[in-house]
Chains A and B, each alone.
Chain A
Amino acid sequence: MIKTKIIYKLILVFLFFAVLVVLPLTFTVVKQVDKMIDEEESLYMPDTDTYTKAHKDFAPRLIEHIVPYIFYILVMTLLLSIFFMRKMLISLKELQAGSQAVKEGNMDVNLEIISDDELGDVTKAFNEMTSALKEKTLELQKKDMYINAMLDPLWVVDENNNILDVNPAFERLLGHRRKDVIGASIYDFFDDRNTMIMRRQLEEKREKGISSIYEINIFRKDGSQMPVLISGSPIYAGDEIVGKIGILKDFTEQEELRKALQQAKEYAETIMDSIEDELLVIDREYRIIKANKIAMMNTTENIVGKFCHVISHNSEHPCVEDGHECPVRVVFITGKNWRVTHRHVNQAGEVKYHEIVASPITDSSGNVVSVIELLRDVTERMKHEEEISRKNRELTVLNSISGMLSRSLKPDEILTKILDKTMEMLNMDGGEIFFLEEGKREMTCSYHRGISDEYARMMGRIRLGEDIPGKVALTGQLMTSSDISKDHRVESSLVKHLGIKGFCCIPIKGKERILGVLCLFSFKPHFFTMEEEKIVNSIGEMTGISIENIKLYEKMFELYGQQKKRREEEYAQLLSLSTKLGSAIDLKAIMANVLELIKSFFRADFVWMLVNDPEGNFLLKTAANINVKEGDIIYPKDISSAEGYSIEKKTTIVIPDIRAEERFYLHPEISAMSYHTVAATPMFIGEKSVGVFTLYYLGNKAIKADEIHFLEVIANILAVSLERSDLYIKSIDEKGRSETVLQSVADGIITVNNTGRVISVNKAFEKMSGFPSVKAEGLAVCDMFRYAEDNNRLRSLLAECLDAALSGSQATREAELVTLYGQNIPIQISSNPVYDAEGNVTSAVNLFRDISREKEIDRMKTDIIRSVSHEFRTPLSAIVGMTEMILDGDMEDIKARKYLNTILSEGLRLSSMVSDLLSIARIESGKERLKSGPIVINEMLKTVIESFASIIDRKNAKVELDVGLDEIFTGDEEKLRQVLMNFLDNSLTFSDEGCKINITARKKDDELEISISDNGWGIPEEDMPHLAERFYRGKHGERIKGTGLGLSLCNEIVKMHKGKMGIKSKLGEGTEITITFPYREAT
């Protein structure tokens, strides 16, 4: 609606004007003009002069009359205008001032609406405008504030990437002034490389019109570069992108953090890589997510990302092996460290033993996210251990096989047992024995294990040279394969049908020919070691010999069947002999016995057994009645002797008269006796000669063929036994006899090599010092003790001992060892050199003996001496001094009597001191033993009280006995009585007349508790800690004589009974002494 009030005002003004100005003016003008016209008319008549004169005056007169009116009109108009326009002017002025204020930025303008007209409306509109403007400005200001308050720098760029504006944070962070950067290109802030990144970012993102975040280095004002994270967003005007706003986030800290993280990672990696053990980090999926250098080195491929069980066990599933749980799994479940030793097989089939320590890696909330595995390759050690245990197993099997071979003459029994035992030894799943049929070129399966009878029958016949068994039987060469299914050398139908992997085929060799083969197989791959091959070969040989023996013997039996009695005798002899040989490993003890048997059986005058040494000599193994020691060289192993000749010929040589045969050399000891007939029988294991045994006859003796056969059977048995014992001894040596000795000694022993480095540390030392032996190995021995500074003396003394030992002499020192537990142990070190065969010192043995006990006894001795020299002096003063004074004479009798009394009491004190001291010393030295017996507590206590009857009477004391048990206690009654008497004596002594003493005995749990309490003087607090100290005499000791040994002795006796002594006391109130003993153990 348009308001028209101002128009009314104008009309009003006009009307006023008309009334006040125009009408009067018109009236006046009309009146004036009339007057003038009248005058004019008058003039027409008169003369012309007057007319002229009137004409001439008309204009000035008109002006003279009209001007005041005009003036009046002007004034009136002005007054009216002022009157009417006054408010309008005020409004306008205000508007002007308001707009000026707005121009100056002051938005707080609120104009007063003075008039109700259009101007008022304008003012109102102005007010609305300013308030809207104010709001807008505030909003803008707020936005500016936000932007200015932003800690992250911000820039706004136009479509050409020129900067339109930046915020103060930008100025702050980068040092550029706002006014300097506005209009600049953003590319001015980057070096070439970063510019490229920037361009790429901007172009890529611009095309897509999306926000982007990227890291970049920006130049600061000072020229340095700063890492920032820019997040840019396009600014749209409609659909068109007109610019970009970018927030630059200071990335220095993050960058540093990242660097630090990177460094930490590198550091961790360096550490990981510097660890000599393999290290793997494994996630929940059993995937290896990290591996150190060593772990990577030990494999040809990159193991990161692979499954750990594939790598370590070549298995598709996490391992569960031999009862060892997978450590990774255990750690994930338990969240605790886990240590285990695992046998690992890598993809190449190599066996590795790893000592694994698996530890959890947890996230911030404590969940196990991955497992770190430290794998120490203990293959060497384990192989060694395994070798020893395998050797043991082999020996056991060998022993049982050879024992059985020598005990049994039944081929069936022998062969089935051999099959079983060999399978057991090699951990095989099955096996077969094929025998070559005599005169045929075909083998038949005689025994089988692990395959069905049907299969055995089907595969029961193999022609010589065919298949593996046929080839082995033909060549006599052992054949093994760790995985025959992958072995392309062989084509075996035997194998294919069974799906077997580990396979070995052992020839069973007789003396001259191959008797058959022994096949063993397993369904798992089995790698045969050289050792195993050797062993099975020798099993094959032993089996062959045994079978031949049996056959030989059976043949003999057939041939000489008529001499049945003799045969039976032989058979019995043989059995007893082989039983003896087979049952013992250490042959020494029984070899002589066996030879004696042979001697008597063959009625020889002398028998000896010689063995080969590696140098090609015969050594004496066993003989009776000869002046040669076992192991002495007899003569060279060549054909110059009957023995050598028999070995050369591989058969028993019988020389009817050795003296006639000049080509044979005789040992002087033999030569000294006039032997005639000699029979030498060689002992062989396969092709290898073991030794020989020879029968010597003083007379001429005809040796029959069957006897020779029999000798050879014996030779075979002996050969097997010898070989076996040899193997056994070797293995014992390998394990190190010394090791056993070392570990069983109670003293600590450290062996070092000739440079002073530790070879071994025994258990006792480990126990003594706390130092783990594994850590010590390889250390310089003196460095072992570096963990404590107080060991410096020990180290220098040890070095002295070691120097002496390594230069060949023995040395002993005494020192103090500070253990890892922080205890001080007095020890005696003695170092001894160890020599090799040439007499060089190769190592040294250092013995550490704990001499605490000796030291303690030593201390006790000096203690006693000091006590004697010190504590005894006072009573001695009375005895010596007073006696002297009495002897001097001039003394009254009363005085002398007093002196004598003192001498007596001091003498008694001295004497009881001596006996107490001796008792303590005996107990402490461990020489004193308890004479335990049954004690009726009630009775014992009664007698104790009775023995004080006179003192109790004199002191008028009240002693109450309360025994609440009737069981019989086991202990040393005399000693316990001594203790109780001591206590009662104390109570009576350190109490006033009429005192009350309570003695109680109770059974408490499994303990006997006896307590003696009094209401006497009590013990001063300061004396309490010293009560059990020897010669300590408390405050009351000034009044009362004593030895200061009583409680100390009681304490020792109670300790002997494994009991405890407790004293409660309060000065002026009384004392309670309680002793408790374990009830049953008190023996």
Chain B
Amino acid sequence: MSKVIVIDDEPFILMMIEDKLKKAKIDVVTLKESKNALEIVRKEKPDLIILDWMMPELSGIDLCRQLKSDPELSGIHIFMLTAKGQDADEHMGLQCGVERYITKPFSPKSLLEMVQETIGTNNS
């Protein structure tokens, strides 16, 4: 079963994504803060991480850089799910190794599709 870690400081976003992905039989771990994310990622070994950009303590983009610079973790797919909608932001995100840049508000359905596209549909 594929595993996805969702990190966002907004609880209802976590709830939405968790509900949506769990229905598609995807294992979901939600994190309300990015502080200890790196350790949890190491432990959980997810296939994909869905990140918010703007979070207190450690921003999504910094976390993304850290993940990409760790050879053990650099293979994990990363989606950025953020309110920062400007082209420059997206460009920066993609430069840092983000696979998909999704701006809020978003459709949970298409998010699920993107997730499945990335980590494969057959999870059962």
Q: In the complex the two chains form, what is the Cα distance from A882 to B103 in whole Å?
A: 16
The listed residue (B20, B23, B105, B107) touching A873 by CB distance below 8 A is B105
Report whether B83 and A885 are in contact in the complex, using a CB–CB cutoff of 8 Å: no
Which residue from chain B places its CB closest to the CB of A875 in the assembled complex? B105
Q: In the complex the two chains form, what is the Cα distance from A1035 to B19 in whole Å?
A: 27
Report whether B85 and A881 are in contact in the complex, using a CB–CB cutoff of 8 Å: no
Q: In the complex the two chains form, what is the Cα distance from A884 to B16 in whole Å?
A: 10
Q: In the complex the two chains form, what is the Cα distance from A885 to B21 in whole Å?
A: 12
- A884-917 contacts to B (CB < 8 Å): 884-885, 888, 890-891, 895, 898, 902, 906
Q: In the complex the two chains form, what is the Cα distance from A846 to B107 in whole Å?
A: 56
- B1-47 contacts to A (CB < 8 Å): 9-10, 12-13, 15-16, 19-20, 23, 32
Report whether B56 and A873 are in contact in the complex, using a CB–CB cutoff of 8 Å: no
Q: Which residues of A contact B23 (CB under 8 A)?
A: 890
Q: In the complex the two chains form, what is the Cα distance from A898 to B12 in whole Å?
A: 10
B65 within 8 A of A: no
Report whether B83 and A884 are in contact in the complex, using a CB–CB cutoff of 8 Å: no
Secondary structure call for the B interface = loop
| Contact A885 B105, CB 8 Å, known A874-B10, A1035-B56 | no
Q: Which residues of B contact A877 (CB under 8 A)?
A: 10, 12-13, 16, 83, 104-106
B108 within 8 A of A: yes
- A510-569 contacts to B (CB < 8 Å): none
Which residue from chain A places its CB closest to the CB of B13 in the assembled complex? A877
Q: In the complex the two chains form, what is the Cα distance from A880 to B109 in whole Å?
A: 11
Report whether B16 and A874 are in contact in the complex, using a CB–CB cutoff of 8 Å: no
Interface size bucket, A side?
20 to 34
Using an 8 Å CB-CB cutoff, how does the interface string of A851-887 with B read, 1 for contact, 0 for none? 0000000000000000001110110111111101100
Q: In the complex the two chains form, what is the Cα distance from A879 to B109 in whole Å?
A: 14
Q: In the complex the two chains form, what is the Cα distance from A874 to B54 in whole Å?
A: 11
Report whether B106 and A880 are in contact in the complex, using a CB–CB cutoff of 8 Å: yes
A47 within 8 A of B: no
Nearest CB on B from A1041, distance (A): 9
Report whether A885 and B19 are in contact in the complex, using a CB–CB cutoff of 8 Å: yes
Report whether A878 and B107 are in contact in the complex, using a CB–CB cutoff of 8 Å: no
The listed residue (B9, B12, B32, B104) touching A882 by CB distance below 8 A is B12
Q: Which residues of B contact A898 (CB under 8 A)?
A: 15
Report whether A906 and B12 are in contact in the complex, using a CB–CB cutoff of 8 Å: yes
Report whether A870 and B107 are in contact in the complex, using a CB–CB cutoff of 8 Å: no
Q: Which residues of B contact A871 (CB under 8 A)?
A: 83
Q: Which residues of B contact A879 (CB under 8 A)?
A: 105
Report whether A874 and B20 are in contact in the complex, using a CB–CB cutoff of 8 Å: no
Q: Which residues of A contact B109 (CB under 8 A)?
A: 884-885, 888
Report whether A885 and B12 are in contact in the complex, using a CB–CB cutoff of 8 Å: no
B68 within 8 A of A: no
Report whether B16 and A876 are in contact in the complex, using a CB–CB cutoff of 8 Å: no
| Contact A874 B56, CB 8 Å, known A882-B12, A882-B16, A885-B16 | no
Q: In the complex the two chains form, what is the Cα distance from A870 to B84 in whole Å?
A: 6
Q: Which residues of A contact B83 (CB under 8 A)?
A: 870-871, 873-874, 877
The listed residue (A876, A895, A1035) touching B105 by CB distance below 8 A is A876
Q: In the complex the two chains form, what is the Cα distance from A884 to B109 in whole Å?
A: 8
Nearest CB on B from A530, distance (A): 75
| Contact A885 B20, CB 8 Å, known A877-B106, A879-B105 | yes
| Contact A873 B12, CB 8 Å, known A890-B23, A1035-B56 | no
A301 within 8 A of B: no
Q: Which residues of A contact B10 (CB under 8 A)?
A: 874, 877
Report whether A902 and B56 are in contact in the complex, using a CB–CB cutoff of 8 Å: no
Report whether B9 and A881 are in contact in the complex, using a CB–CB cutoff of 8 Å: no
Which residue from chain A places its CB closest to the CB of B103 in the assembled complex? A873
Q: Which residues of A contact B15 (CB under 8 A)?
A: 898, 902
A838 within 8 A of B: no
A1038 within 8 A of B: yes
Q: In the complex the two chains form, what is the Cα distance from A882 to B18 in whole Å?
A: 12
The listed residue (A880, A1035, A1038) touching B107 by CB distance below 8 A is A880
Q: In the complex the two chains form, what is the Cα distance from A880 to B103 in whole Å?
A: 12
Q: Report how many residues on chain B are interfacial, defined by Cβ distance under 8 Å.
A: 22
Best-buried of B12, B13, B56, B85 by chain A (most CB within 10 Å)? B12
Q: Which residues of A contact B104 (CB under 8 A)?
A: 873-874, 876-877
| Contact A880 B105, CB 8 Å, known A871-B83, A895-B19, A1038-B56 | yes
- B70-89 contacts to A (CB < 8 Å): 83-86
Report whether A885 and B103 are in contact in the complex, using a CB–CB cutoff of 8 Å: no
Q: In the complex the two chains form, what is the Cα distance from A888 to B113 in whole Å?
A: 14
Q: Which residues of B contact A870 (CB under 8 A)?
A: 83-85
- A1018-1045 contacts to B (CB < 8 Å): 1035, 1038
Nearest CB on A from B53, distance (A): 11
Report whether A1038 and B9 are in contact in the complex, using a CB–CB cutoff of 8 Å: yes
Q: Which residues of A contact B16 (CB under 8 A)?
A: 877-878, 881-882, 885
Nearest CB on B from A1031, distance (A): 11
The listed residue (B85, B103, B107) touching A884 by CB distance below 8 A is B107
Nearest CB on A from B84, distance (A): 7
Best-buried of A874, A878, A885 by chain B (most CB within 10 Å)? A874
Q: In the complex the two chains form, what is the Cα distance from A871 to B103 in whole Å?
A: 12
Q: In the complex the two chains form, what is the Cα distance from A884 to B113 in whole Å?
A: 14
Q: Which residues of A contact B108 (CB under 8 A)?
A: 881, 884-885
The listed residue (B12, B19, B20, B86) touching A878 by CB distance below 8 A is B12
Nearest CB on B from A227, distance (A): 77
| Contact A881 B106, CB 8 Å, known A1038-B9, A1038-B56 | yes
Nearest CB on A from B14, distance (A): 11
- A743-774 contacts to B (CB < 8 Å): none
Q: In the complex the two chains form, what is the Cα distance from A895 to B18 in whole Å?
A: 13
Best-buried of A877, A884, A898, A902 by chain B (most CB within 10 Å)? A877
Q: Which residues of B contact A873 (CB under 8 A)?
A: 83, 85, 103-105
Q: Which residues of B contact A1035 (CB under 8 A)?
A: 56
Nearest CB on A from B104, distance (A): 4
Q: In the complex the two chains form, what is the Cα distance from A879 to B108 in whole Å?
A: 11
Nearest CB on B from A508, distance (A): 89
Q: In the complex the two chains form, what is the Cα distance from A890 to B23 in whole Å?
A: 9
Which residue from chain B places its CB closest to the CB of A871 in the assembled complex? B83
Nearest CB on B from A659, distance (A): 89
Q: Which residues of A contact B13 (CB under 8 A)?
A: 874, 877-878, 881
Q: In the complex the two chains form, what is the Cα distance from A870 to B85 in whole Å?
A: 7
Which residue from chain A places its CB closest to the CB of B81 in the assembled complex? A877
Q: In the complex the two chains form, what is the Cα distance from A304 to B91 in whole Å?
A: 80
Q: Which residues of B contact A885 (CB under 8 A)?
A: 16, 19-20, 108-109
Nearest CB on A from B91, distance (A): 16
Which residue from chain B places its CB closest to the CB of A905 in the assembled complex? B12
Q: In the complex the two chains form, what is the Cα distance from A876 to B19 in whole Å?
A: 18
Nearest CB on A from B10, distance (A): 6
Q: In the complex the two chains form, what is the Cα distance from A906 to B15 in whole Å?
A: 14
Q: In the complex the two chains form, what is the Cα distance from A881 to B50 in whole Å?
A: 16
Nearest CB on B from A151, distance (A): 76
Q: In the complex the two chains form, what is the Cα distance from A1038 to B34 in whole Å?
A: 13
Q: Which residues of B contact A1038 (CB under 8 A)?
A: 9, 32, 56
Nearest CB on A from B31, distance (A): 13
Nearest CB on B from A1039, distance (A): 10
Using an 8 Å CB-CB cutoff, how does the interface string of A1031-1062 with B read, 1 for contact, 0 for none? 00001001000000000000000000000000
Q: In the complex the two chains form, what is the Cα distance from A873 to B15 in whole Å?
A: 17
Nearest CB on B from A920, distance (A): 20
Q: Which residues of B contact A874 (CB under 8 A)?
A: 10, 13, 83, 104
Known: A879-B105, A885-B19, A890-B23. 20 other contacts (CB 8 A): A869-B85, A870-B84, A873-B103, A874-B83, A876-B104, A877-B13, A878-B13, A878-B105, A880-B106, A880-B107, A881-B105, A881-B107, A882-B12, A882-B16, A885-B16, A888-B109, A895-B19, A898-B15, A902-B15, A1038-B9
The contact sample of 5 A-B pairs, CB cut-off 8 A, is A870-B85, A877-B16, A879-B105, A881-B106, A884-B107
Q: Which residues of A contact B (CB under 8 A)?
A: 869-871, 873-874, 876-882, 884-885, 888, 890-891, 895, 898, 902, 906, 1035, 1038
Give 8 closest A-B pairs by Cβ, nearest first.
Answer: A873-B83, A880-B105, A876-B105, A873-B104, A877-B105, A877-B104, A902-B12, A881-B108
